Amino acid sequence: GVPVIGICHSGGLRLHETLGPMEMFGQLFRRNSIYSGVVPQISIILGVVAGGQAYSPGLTDFILMTKGSAVYIAGPAFVKAQTGMDISDDELGGASMHARTSGLVDVLRDTEAQIFEEARRLIGFLPLSCQGPVPSRPADDDPSRREEALNGMAPEESSKPFDMHRVIQPVFDGGEFFEIKPDFARNIITGFARLAGDTVGVVANQSNYLGGVIDIKAAEKAARFVRFCDAFNIPIITFQDSPAYLIGKEMERAGMIYKGAKLLHAYAEADVPKITIIVRKAYAGAYIAMGSQYIGADLVYAWPGAEISSVAPKTAASILFRQEIQSGADQETIEALHRDYYDNYVRAYRAASLRHINDIIEPAETRSALCKSLALLKGKKQVRPQKKHGNIPL
């Protein structure tokens, strides 16, 4: 098999033809679905795509759009006729809206020439099919290269945000990183890179946006990307720096339990090589979900300043030492209790001593550790129970 690329610009079916085009739509959707996970499928939208035709791109793996394009299941005229609402193409289904709000678009560019160039770049990271090898190319970048700039990159104060792109790009070959859905759910980063010439998928928390917390959109974005990588045998590299899943009334009512579980299911089900770097915060359910040993990661490394805890350390300390706080203990005593809790229960060295992580590495050695780990895990085989397919919580 080989990848399938659809170039889309369609106003939908002709209203006077009815059943014939509907049959064609159904057959197209069926083939999109049957070959999902068999060969990569990419849709390039260069104009308006309306009506039933819009579902075909929605069934493919990646959607690339030019600014000024639009995609919707019913255009402004239909919306006006059925709801009385006046709305423009751009408001209804414009490329920018889909890139930022719905998450439909993976890559957005200004011109058709740029979109085709990005499509070629994307294809370069992907295998021809699920049976083919992951693309590999000669790498001029030394696998053992130290990146001294990573030492001191993460702020010591765990609540202080920083841009995770500054960690990702120096680690991979030539600093190249092809980001997927960069404008959607910006609290999590997904994309493709190369390590020692081999394609890898990258998932990372982004503390620069919402503090790196995992909300529903972030969980769904990352879960879909992880499942794609697993379908096409692409190893997954995870960079952790998240305080938790987002909590509260609105999240519960929006279905956080089962929607957030998509990320857990995706990581647990994936049987490709999975390597995790805990950059800083690894708290609560976010720690488990983002490629922990518990969920099936093959190798987990932590930077020296990493914090690994069942809840945020300050929250845990406020509960554990509530009696001392309420009894009026002086600030020095309370701070000493907090430090004791942090040293004994939060620092990455405790997790390493309990073998919950494999090693603590110097940040500058991150690339070297990843390259060695990936070489070690090549050819990984995992025996799983026989089944037709898993039932991911959709």
List pLDDT tens digits, range 357-391: 999 999 999 999 999 999 999 989 988 999 999 99
Which strand (E) or helix (H) includes residue 379?
none
Per-residue pLDDT averaged across 188-210, rounded?
Answer: 98
What is the predicted pLDDT for the residue at 16?
66
Q: How far apart are CA 66 and CA 105, in angstroms?
A: 10
Catalytic pick among 12, 52, 260, 305 = 52
- Asked which of 132-146, 274-288, 332-346 is least confident by mean pLDDT, the reply is 332-346
Q: Above 90 in pLDDT, residue 339?
A: no
Q: What are the tokens at 51? A: 């009506």
CA angle 125, 129, 132 (to 5 degrees): 85
DSSP annotation string for 247-269: -SHHHHHTTHHHHHHHHHHHHHH
Q: Where are the domains of the chain?
A: 4-125, 148-306+347-377
**Please, are residues 301 and 282 in contact by the beta-carbon 8 Å criterion?**
no
The CATH code of the domain at 148-306+347-377 is 3.90.226.10
pTM of this prediction?
Answer: 0.94
Q: What are the tokens at 230? A: 């697993």
What is the predicted pLDDT for the residue at 331?
77
Sign of CA dihedral 152, 158, 162, 166: positive
What is the predicted pLDDT for the residue at 282?
96
Report residue 318's pLDDT band, with 50, 70 and 90 as the boundaries.
confident
Catalytic pick among 244, 286, 302, 352 = 286
Q: How many CB atoms lie within 10 A of CB 136?
A: 11
Report residue 242's pLDDT band, with 50, 70 and 90 as the boundaries.
very high
What is the predicted pLDDT for the residue at 14?
65
Domains 4-125 and 148-306+347-377 belong to one CATH topology: yes
Report residue 320's pLDDT band, with 50, 70 and 90 as the boundaries.
confident
Q: How far apart are CA 46 and CA 61, in angstroms?
A: 17
Per-residue pLDDT averaged across 88-116, rounded?
Answer: 97
Q: Is 52 a catalytic residue?
A: yes
Over the stretch 13-69, which tens digit does the pLDDT of each residue have?
666 666 777 888 899 999 999 999 999 999 999 999 998 889 999 999 999 999 999
Q: Above 80 in pLDDT, residue 206?
A: yes
What is the predicted pLDDT for the residue at 12?
67
What is the predicted pLDDT for the residue at 15?
65
Q: Above 80 in pLDDT, residue 322?
A: no
CA distances from 244 to 83, 241, 260, 263 (A): 40, 9, 11, 13
What is the predicted pLDDT for the residue at 29?
95
Q: Is 51 a catalytic residue?
A: yes
CA distances from 256 to 174, 208, 261 (A): 38, 22, 8
Q: Is 149 left (phi over 0), alpha (psi -120 to 50) or beta?
A: alpha
Which residue, among 163, 132, 133, has the nearest Cα to 150 in the 3D structure?
163
- Terminal-residue alpha carbon distance, the chain: 28
Over the stretch 76-85, which tens digit does the pLDDT of each residue have?
988 999 999 9
Over the stretch 140-175, which tens digit does the pLDDT of each residue have?
999 999 999 999 999 988 889 999 999 999 999 999
Catalytic pick among 12, 51, 94, 191 = 51
Q: How far apart are CA 157 and CA 103, in angstroms?
A: 32
Per-residue pLDDT averaged across 196-208, rounded?
Answer: 98
Catalytic pick among 75, 260, 285, 305 = 285
Per-residue pLDDT averaged across 242-255, rounded?
Answer: 96
The CATH code of the domain at 4-125 is 3.90.226.10
Per-residue pLDDT averaged across 283-303, rounded?
Answer: 97
Report residue 104's pLDDT band, with 50, 70 and 90 as the boundaries.
very high
What is the predicted pLDDT for the residue at 160?
95
What is the predicted pLDDT for the residue at 17?
64
